[in-house]
């Protein structure tokens, strides 16, 4: 059996890092971890190929080679995924599809031959058994949550690691919190399931053996969802890192209660974590309560950010506007909060009702949904009628993006961050880092609107916090990406607003 695994293309978003990747000559930020893991669950007798459309093109020749095409992806990749499925149909090639987007809305993919949904450790064996017996069904589902201590190591041999800036591994699934807008609980449940320390060491060994010596993204939606197990695992990672001379730096996602746990922050710092993404969302306590993000309401969020940064981890964060409790002042409040906290990588989006979330069902019952969500945080992805009005939300949101990514404001945040930040991570200076630095001098220091701020940042950092110079250069490069995506987003917002005004008489376009 010849099987082609296809990862659809991402559109240009804040998370694509498209413009920043050019500085280090990489084609994509992250490899398709889900497909690589699924590949390890397939029969060893099968002939496997993987094409990541974010690093290379998918040709008809590739498709015609395959007896079966397996595709996975998230909501934001669905335009590309649908295109791949249509091409397979024209060539009479059977398609197997799974992953978050297909699991959330399987009814929208009737042209897929086999939908293998939910968690693959359960449903892939079901499909393989039926396929072997010639009894394939159209859809495979299971409410059972698998024991991920049995999940295999990803099949790294299917990709060229040199195409990517960061490798990935997964430690846990699930989240103990149940925010109204988040689909993680619907997909993976509230009980946090973890891999064993031995598994994580095996996965680190696998990455080390293929020659990786850079960043590793632990893709968990909440890395500290099971603090007890994390604290048992991290000492093993620390020991491994010491023995291998710290080949990896780690980044991950966590909840704000990380800042309450000194032991956990110290362990993460010792393990060489240098970035963590937090869902801060909003400075509005009423809006946090509205969306069920109670874990954020009992803490001074600015202090949370400062505390984590003082432990050697740069805080990246997501922010949301458009809650029912938001008024017209929220836009200036968000800007002030982002600037005050020094969250340089600030991913601001409008509230979106994703399929299967509590928010989706509430707004549907209130008759406020008017289209599908696209899952794209750098376009007009609003899909419901906000209480403040669409016009107010679009214009206020656009003002946030224009303001926080202005060179002066962006570089001010870097300065706030560096004041709080205590660099602790051990990282290796690589050839591409040196090339990226010189490219930044040329592209930012000479030909960018940010040049004066760039030189001030470099000089000040060299004399006041020299160890943080690589962080300063990286953030300067990221700023060029964010500004370009924000500009693209502005066009999308006003195009959507014009369309909405033309169709305001009905709830569907």
Q: Give 452's contacts (C-beta < 8 A, 6+ positions apart).
A: none
Q: Are residues 57 and 198 in the same domain?
A: no
pTM of the prediction? Answer: 0.95
Q: Are residues 56 and 122 in the same domain?
A: yes
CATH number of residue 235's parent domain = 3.20.20.70
Q: Residue range 138-159: average pLDDT? A: 97
Closest to 405 (Cα-Cα) out of 353, 338, 462: 338
Does the residue 171 lie in any domain?
yes
Does the residue 388 lie in any domain?
yes
Query: DSSP secondary structure string, 319-330?
Result: EEE--TT--TTH
Q: How many domains does the chain fold into?
A: 3
Which comes out higher in pLDDT, residue 506 or 397? 397
CATH number of residue 36's parent domain = 3.40.50.280
- Does the structure show a pLDDT above 80 at 367? yes
Average pLDDT in the chain: 95
Question: Strand 2-7 and strand 167-169: pairing?
Answer: unpaired
206 neighbors 153 (Cβ within 8 angstroms): yes
In this structure, the number of other CB atoms found within 10 A of the CB of residue 470 comes to 18
Which comes out higher in pLDDT, residue 375 or 353? 353
Tell the residue number behind the tokens 């990786």, with chain if given: 212
Closest to 322 (Cα-Cα) out of 184, 181, 182, 489: 181
3 state SS of 254: strand
pLDDT tens per residue across span 66-115:
999 999 999 999 999 999 999 999 999 999 999 999 999 999 999 999 99
Q: Are residues 183 and 250 in the same domain?
A: yes
User: What tokens appear for 332 in the block?
Assistant: 């200036």
Question: What residue numbers bound the domain in which 414 lies?
Answer: 166-419
Q: Are residues 381 and 276 in the same domain?
A: yes
Using N-to-C axis directions, what is the helix angle for 469-502 and 451-464, rounded to 10°?
150
Q: Residue range 320-330: average pLDDT? A: 97
Q: Are residues 293 and 174 in the same domain?
A: yes
Does the residue 502 lie in any domain?
no
Q: How confident is the model at residue 376 (pLDDT cuts 50, 70, 90)?
A: confident
């Amino acid at each position: 059996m010849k099987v082609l695994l296809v990862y659809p293309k991402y559109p240009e978003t804040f998370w694509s890092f498209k413009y920043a990747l050019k500085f280090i000559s990489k084609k994509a930020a992250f490899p398709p971890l889900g497909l690589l893991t699924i590949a390890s669950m397939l029969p060893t007798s099968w002939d496997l190929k993987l094409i990541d459309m974010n690093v290379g093109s998918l040709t008809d020749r590739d498709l015609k080679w395959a007896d079966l095409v397996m595709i996975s992806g998230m909501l934001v990749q669905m335009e590309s995924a649908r295109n791949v499925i249509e091409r397979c149909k024209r060539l009479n090639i059977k398609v197997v599809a799974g992953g978050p987007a297909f699991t959330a809305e399987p009814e929208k993919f009737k042209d897929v031959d086999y939908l293998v949904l939910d968690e693959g450790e359960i449903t892939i064996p079901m499909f393989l058994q039926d396929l072997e017996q010639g009894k394939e069904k159209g859809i495979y589902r299971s409410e059972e949550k698998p024991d991920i201590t049995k999940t295999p190591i990803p099949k790294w041999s299917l990709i060229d690691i040199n195409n990517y800036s960061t490798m990935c591994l997964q430690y846990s699934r699930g989240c103990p919190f149940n925010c109204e807008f988040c689909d993680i609980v619907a997909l993976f449940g509230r009980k946090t399931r973890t891999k064993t320390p031995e598994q994580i060491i095996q996965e680190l060994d696998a990455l080390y053996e293929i020659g990786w010596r850079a960043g590793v993204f632990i893709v968990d939606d909440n890395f500290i969802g099971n603090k007890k197990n994390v604290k048992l695992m991290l000492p093993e990672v620390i020991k491994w890192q010491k023995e291998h001379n710290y080949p990896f730096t780690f980044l991950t996602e966590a909840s704000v209660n990380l800042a309450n746990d000194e032991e956990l922050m110290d362990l993460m710092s010792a393990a060489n974590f240098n970035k963590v993404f937090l869902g801060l969302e909003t400075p509005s306590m009423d809006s946090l309560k509205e969306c069920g993000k109670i874990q954020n309401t009992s803490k001074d969020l600015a202090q949370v950010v400062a505390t984590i940064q003082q432990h050697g981890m740069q805080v990246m964060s997501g922010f949301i506007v458009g809650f029912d409790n938001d008024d017209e002042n929220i836009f200036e409040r968000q800007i002030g909060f982002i600037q005050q906290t020094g969250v340089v990588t600030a991913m601001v989006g409008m509230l979106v009702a994703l399929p299967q979330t509590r928010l989706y069902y509430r707004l549907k019952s209130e008759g406020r949904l008017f289209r599908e969500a696209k899952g794209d945080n750098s376009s007009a992805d609003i899909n419901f009628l906000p209480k403040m009005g669409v016009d107010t939300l679009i214009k206020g949101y656009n003002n946030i993006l224009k303001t926080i990514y202005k060179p002066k404001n962006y570089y001010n945040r870097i300065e706030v961050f560096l004041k709080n930040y205590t660099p602790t991570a051990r990282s290796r200076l690589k050839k591409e880092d040196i090339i990226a630095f010189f490219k930044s001098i040329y592209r930012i220091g000479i030909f960018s609107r940010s040049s004066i701020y760039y030189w001030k940042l470099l000089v000040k950092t060299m004399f006041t916090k020299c160890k943080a110079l690589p962080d300063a250069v990286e953030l300067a490069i990221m700023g060029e990406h964010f500004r370009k995506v924000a500009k693209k987003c502005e066009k999308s917002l006003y195009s959507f607003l014009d369309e909405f005004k033309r169709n305001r008489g009905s709830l569907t376009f």
